[in-house]
C-alpha cells in the first residue's frame, strides 16, 4: 500500500538534537555524527577521569578485591556502607570546567562489577545501597548543563563477581582473583557459559545508551582477558583475522553501540579490533600508524586510580608536565582523580586541577607538534 508522503514523514524518526558537548560542530554532526564527534575529540585536549566505587571506602587501591583475595560475598558487604554522601555531580562538572577540560569519564562499573547506575541486570548497584542514587544520571545531567562530553568507563573483559565472566582456567591469571579454596559462586567447567555474561554486558550497555542522554564515548577496559586468546593480536598491529577474540562478540557489541547512538566513540586501550575510534594507553603515548586520535590516561595519585590513603599525590607542576607531554604527542590527557569514600574530590586534587585551569587560561595548551610517524 502506498502511503501519503505526509504520513511517511510523520512516521520517520526525527533527527536527534545536537548534543550540548558538540556545540560548534552542528553542521558536521548533521552530516556525519561520528565524524563530528571524532573531530570534537581531537580538539578536546583535556578530560577528567573519575575512579569511584566500593573500593574507595577502604582506600587501598581499586584492585582491592583481587589483590587481597576478598571472597565475593565478603566484598559485597561493602555495598551496605556506600552512601556517596558528598558526591556532587554539579561540583564535579564545575571543577572540570575550571580545569579547562572538555569531558568527564567515570567508572560506571569497574572490575568488581559494582555499578554506579541503576541496573535491571543486577542488584549490585548504587541505587540498591544506602546511597539510593543513580550517580551516572546525576553526572549526565550536570555535564549536559555545562556542555561537557560524558564518557563511560565500563569493565568489559574482567569481572570478579558475575558467575559466568571469564575464569582463570581459560582466560589467564588476571581474569579473577586466585581464591583458595575456589570461589563457590563462580560457574566452572561445563556449567560456565560466557554468552550469559556477554548478554549481561550488552543489556547494561543498552541501559547506559538509552537512559542517560547523549554519550560522548564508551571506554572499555580489561583488554588483557580477550587478548589471552592466542588467536588475538592487539592493535595497532594489523589483526591476523577479521575479528580479534571472536568469542567475546566485540564487533557485535560495537555495532550495537553505534545503532543506539551513532555519534558515540569507542576505545579499548591500544585497540582490539582496529575499528576503535581512538587509542587510550596508560601514562605515555604509543607508536601508531595512521592518524587515529590518542588519549593518554594518567592519575593524580601515584600507583592508584581509586582513592588510596597511603599514596603520594602529584604536584601541580607534575600534573602540568603530563599535559605538556600529551600535547607534544598530539594526544589528549585524561587526568584521573579518585574521590574520597564519601564521594568528594580530594582537596589537593581539586586545587591542582584549578591551578592547571588558571595556567591554561593564561598561556594556553602546549602547541608542540606530534613527532614524525614511524615508517
Average pLDDT by stretches of 10, the chain with 375 residues: 42 67 97 97 98 98 97 98 98 98 98 98 98 98 98 96 94 88 96 96 98 98 79 45 69 97 96 93 82 95 96 96 94 98 98 97 70 38
Residue 218 inside a domain? The answer is yes
Distance CA 328, CA 197 (A): 40
pLDDT at position 270, please?
A: 87
pLDDT at position 285, please?
A: 86
pLDDT at position 291, please?
A: 83
Per the structure, how many domains does the chain have? 1
Residue 42 inside a domain? The answer is yes
pLDDT at position 287, please?
A: 75
The closest alpha carbon to 177, from 305, 67, 78, 304, belongs to: 67
Beta bridge partners of 266: 218
Could you identify the residue written with the cell 553542521? Answer: 27
Residue 368 inside a domain? The answer is no
Q: What is the DSSP string of 253-293?
A: HHHHHHHH-TT-EEEETT-SSS--S-B--BSS----SSS--
Query: Is this prediction's pTM over 0.85?
Result: yes
pLDDT at position 229, please?
A: 54
Residue 12 inside a domain? The answer is no
Q: Other CB atoms closer than 10 Å to residue 301's CB: what's the count?
A: 21
Distance CA 145, CA 284 (A): 32
Question: How large is the C-alpha radius of gyration of the chain?
Answer: 21
Residue 372 inside a domain? The answer is no
pLDDT at position 15, please?
A: 55
Residue 22 inside a domain? The answer is no
Residue 181 inside a domain? The answer is yes
Beta bridge partners of 332: 295
Q: Residue 76 sits in a domain of what CATH number?
A: 3.20.20.80
Residue 247 inside a domain? The answer is yes
The boundaries of the domain holding residue 241 are 32-363
pLDDT at position 157, please?
A: 85
For the packed helices 347-363 and 89-98, what is the interaxial angle rounded to 10 degrees? 40
Amino acid at each position: 500500500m502506498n502511503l501519503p508522503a505526509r504520513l511517511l514523514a510523520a512516521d520517520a524518526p526525527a533527527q536527534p538534537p545536537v548534543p550540548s558537548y558538540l556545540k560548534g560542530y552542528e553542521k558536521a554532526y548533521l552530516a556525519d555524527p561520528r565524524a563530528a564527534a571524532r573531530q570534537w575529540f581531537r580538539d578536546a585536549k583535556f578530560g577528567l577521569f573519575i575512579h569511584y566505587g566500593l573500593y574507595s571506602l577502604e582506600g587501598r587501591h581499586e584492585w582491592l578485591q583481587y589483590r587481597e583475595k576478598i571472597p565475593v560475598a565478603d566484598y559485597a558487604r561493602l555495598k551496605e556502607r556506600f552512601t556517596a554522601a558528598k558526591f556532587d555531580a554539579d561540583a564535579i562538572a564545575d571543577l572540570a570546567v575550571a580545569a579547562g577540560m572538555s569531558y568527564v569519564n567515570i567508572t560506571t562499573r569497574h572490575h568488581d562489577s559494582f555499578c554506579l547506575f541503576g541496573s535491571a541486570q543486577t542488584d549490585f548497584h548504587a541505587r540498591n545501597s544506602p546511597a539510593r542514587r543513580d550517580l551516572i544520571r546525576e553526572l549526565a545531567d550536570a555535564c549536559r548543563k555545562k556542555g561537557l562530553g560524558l564518557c563511560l568507563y565500563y569493565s568489559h573483559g574482567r569481572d570478579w563477581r558475575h558467575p559466568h565472566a571469564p575464569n582463570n582456567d581459560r582466560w589467564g591469571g588476571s581474569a579473577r582473583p586466585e581464591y583458595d579454596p575456589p570461589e563457590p559462586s563462580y560457574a566452572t567447567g561445563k556449567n560456565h557459559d560466557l554468552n550469559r555474561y556477554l548478554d549481561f554486558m550488552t543489556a547494561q550497555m543498552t541501559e547506559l545508551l538509552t537512559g542517560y542522554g547523549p554519550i560522548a564515548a564508551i571506554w572499555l577496559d580489561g583488554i588483557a582477558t580477550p587478548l589471552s586468546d592466542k588467536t588475538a593480536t592487539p592493535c595497532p598491529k594489523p589483526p591476523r583475522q577479521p575479528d580479534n577474540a571472536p568469542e567475546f562478540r566485540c564487533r557485535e557489541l560495537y555495532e550495537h553501540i553505534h545503532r543506539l547512538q551513532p555519534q558515540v566513540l569507542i576505545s579499548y586501550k591500544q585497540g582490539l579490533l582496529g575499528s576503535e575510534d581512538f587509542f587510550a594507553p596508560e601514562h605515555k603515548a604509543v607508536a601508531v600508524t595512521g592518524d587515529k586520535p590518542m588519549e593518554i590516561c594518567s592519575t593524580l595519585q601515584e600507583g592508584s586510580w581509586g582513592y588510596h590513603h597511603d599514596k603520594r599525590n602529584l604536584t601541580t607542576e607534575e600534573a602540568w608536565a603530563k599535559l605538556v607531554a600529551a600535547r607534544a604527542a598530539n594526544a589528549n590527557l585524561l587526568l584521573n582523580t579518585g574521590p574520597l569514600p564519601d564521594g568528594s574530590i580530594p582537596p589537593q586534587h581539586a586545587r591542582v586541577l584549578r591551578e592547571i585551569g588558571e595556567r591554561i587560561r593564561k598561556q594556553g595548551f602546549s602547541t608542540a607538534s606530534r613527532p614524525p610517524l614511524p615508517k
